[in-house]
Amino acid sequence: MTEQLRIEEAVERLIKAEDVLLLCHKNPDGDTIGSAGALFWALKALGKRVAVLCADGIPARYGYMELVPFTGQFTPRFTVAVDVASIQLFGDSIRDYTRQIDLCIDHHPSNAGYAGETLLDGEAAATAELLYRLIPAMGVQLTPRIADCLYTGLSTDTGCFRFSNTTANTHQVAAGLIGSGARVEELNTILFESKSRERIEIERIALNQLEYHFDGRCALIYLTREQIAESAVQLDELENLTSLPRMIEGVWVGLTLRQQPGGSYKISVRTDKGVDACAIAQRLGGGGHSRAAGCELEGNLANAKAAILAEVERELTALDKASEAGGEA
């Protein structure tokens, strides 16, 4: 089992470390890259040899961090996993470097404790929020570049301060990062105000196939494997399309059906407060959270649609009955 560290202990380990390899999770997001990036520049400031490794590479959109990717240019003597909740999330292609993780810095309460030692803050909205305390404790100044990296992690993990994980402290940290010179205008444009042509195309296709059900309380979009393949959209851009149907006013349940390469349909269920997405998905063998859940169904589109719509109807009918009963009481 991993040893839980205090900030000062983690600082001690990092200050002693030499030839440091920083590991990100696969399908990298702004927090794993931004947090690794901030630590990269902090360790550089202390004169150390350091590089960043991610199974899927460092996405081009984070080019402004100017990180050095690990390509075997030194033999790592200290390995730090950043924002990685479990060992499965590293990705198989970098397995040679994930056998012994000396330190893990993370904010996921579910962290599996796979590292030798772990610095965990389950209350933090992003690993970047934790590093905002750690880096100054290392005696390193928050330069504009480090602030850019931390702002990237903080803003992407909170949907630019929209998600429910955003706390007063998240905003305090954002204020501090702006004070340290983070270029928030440029970063926000890169991170939140850009969509690929492929994403725009798949959105067009999805909107052309949008359906409303149950007096507009349910909206459904679907995409066949041919449409997904033809659009050439990346997986992460396809993932966040699932928020679209729920976003429509009056919609309580938003459904996104995406055909998988094998032919089955992966269904994302997103709901408004008060409608249990997990209950809907579970009855079809899936699972998830109360407002975001999913399941996968074999068979053709018509079958998949009929099955999920029947469960949505059941849930909405139950809610109607409960509200009628409440009205009578």
138-to-29, 65, 181, 198, 320 alpha-carbon distances in Å: 25, 20, 19, 43, 57
Compute the least distance from the CB of residue 175 to a copy of itself, in Å.
4
Q: Is 327 helix (H, G, I), strand (E, B) or coil?
A: helix
With CA atoms as reference, report the closest residue to 246 among 254, 234, 255.
Answer: 254
Handedness of CA 246, 248, 249, 250 (dihedral sign): negative
Nearer to a copy of itself, 224 or 243 (CB): 243
Report in angstroms how near the CB of residue 91 gets to a copy of itself at its nearest.
25
C-beta closer to a copy of itself: residue 195 or 283? 195
Q: Which is nearer to a copy of itself, 201 or 296 (CB)?
A: 201
Residues forming the site for a copy of itself (CB under 8 A): 160-164, 166-172, 174-176, 178-179, 184-186, 188, 192-197, 200, 203-204, 207-208, 210, 212, 216, 243, 246-250, 273
Angle between helical axes of 168-179 and 144-157 (0-180°, round to 10): 150
Smallest gap, in angstroms, from Cβ of residue 193 to a copy of itself?
Answer: 5
- Nearer to a copy of itself by Cβ, of 61 and 321: the residue is 61
CA torsion sign for 281, 113, 101, 35 is positive
Q: Please name the residue that has the structure tokens 């490794």.
A: 53
| Closer CB to a copy of itself, 77 or 289, in the complex | 289
Q: Residue 58 forms beta bridges with which residues?
A: none
Closest distance of CB 236 from a copy of itself, Å = 14
Give the number of residues written for the chain.
329
Q: In what order do the strands lie in the sheet with 20-23?
A: 3-4, 117-120, 103-106, 78-82, 20-23, 50-53
Q: Tokens for 295? A: 């399941």
- Least spacing, CB of residue 260 vs a copy of itself, in Å: 25
Token digits of residue 59? 């996405």
Q: How far is the CB of 173 from a copy of itself (least distance, A)?
A: 8
Residue 27 vs 169, nearer CB to a copy of itself: 169
- Which of 63, 250 has the CB closer to a copy of itself? 250
**Tokens coding 218:** 């349910």
Which class for 271: exposed (0-12), middle (13-18), buried (19 or more C-beta within 10 A)? buried
> Minimum distance from CB of 202 to a copy of itself (Å)?
10
Cα 178 to its chain centre, rounded Å, is 23
